[in-house]
Amino acid sequence: MPDQDERRAELAASLARVRRRIADACAAVGRPRDEVTLVAVTKTYPATDVLHLAGLGVGDVGENRDQEAAPKAAQVRAAGTEVRWHFVGQLQRNKARSVATYADLVHSVDSVRLAGALAEAAARHRESPLDVLVQVSIDGDPARGGARLGGPPDTDLDQVAEAIAVTQSLRLRGVMTVAPVDWDPGAAFERLAGIADRMRVNYPTATVVSAGMSADVESAVEYGATHVRIGSALLGNRASLR
């Protein structure tokens, strides 16, 4: 294991490369660089890495499992560092209370029932509304999560969006997707862009498009991503989760 000075240097070098990729992708399609927010996905990595990244200017950190995210957020806060926490993984309703206490933006609301559970938790445990995104299924595979146009009532995209929008404790901010592994990322993100445009007609403040990870950042930026979720390209290849 590298010592902390070595680890910070590793992260600084990786961060410079990722920032350059994002800047180049923006330049290639004529977008201002400040339209795209880097979310550093630190799952399986320690709170010390979050502290290093924060010291290097990263203000947005993503996690996908509450059992790891909750104590990590507490450790970072106890160290006197404030970052914006993004919950990016599939969320079970029984974790809504915990996630509502530390997350600033939940990317993965994909059912009316989950929206209800999160709204109740946010109303009880937050002083301000919780920002959320509707997770969109591009290919309709229920195993991967996501709401879809014309889906069953609980996971119909329009009904999920409306369930969020009518609450006072949640704030609908936009959409998120993960490109299916057997799709061309550009095709997936182009479809998401169309859905995002459609949603903004009814919900003008739903301006966030969360798309793109380490392997497909460039395609995501090309098709309008405002937030890119970068893990391995920034922190290194992680061990498999059990």
Residue 31 lies inside a defined structural domain of this protein: yes
Residue 141 lies inside a defined structural domain of this protein: yes
> Under DSSP, is residue 41 helix (H, G, I), strand (E, B) or coil?
strand
Q: What's the domain count of the chain?
A: 1
Residue 241 lies inside a defined structural domain of this protein: no
Residue 155 lies inside a defined structural domain of this protein: yes
Per-chain mean pLDDT for the chain:
95
Residue 149 lies inside a defined structural domain of this protein: yes
The DSSP 8-state label assigned to residue 136 in this structure reads B
pLDDT at 142: 77
Residue 240 lies inside a defined structural domain of this protein: no
List, for residues 80-124, the tens digit of each pLDDT value.
999 999 999 999 999 999 999 999 999 999 999 999 999 999 999
Tokens (6 digits) for 14: 């990786």
pTM above 0.75, yes or no: yes
Pairwise CA distance, residues 94 & 43, whole Å:
20
Residue 156 lies inside a defined structural domain of this protein: yes
Q: Which domain holds residue 17?
A: 4-235
Question: Which CATH number goes with the domain that contains 115?
Answer: 3.20.20.10
Residue 242 lies inside a defined structural domain of this protein: no
DSSP string across 45-97:
S-HHHHHHHHHTT--EEEES-HHHHHHHHHHHHHTT---EEEE-S---GGGHH
Half-sphere exposure of 151 (CA within 13 A, CB side): 23
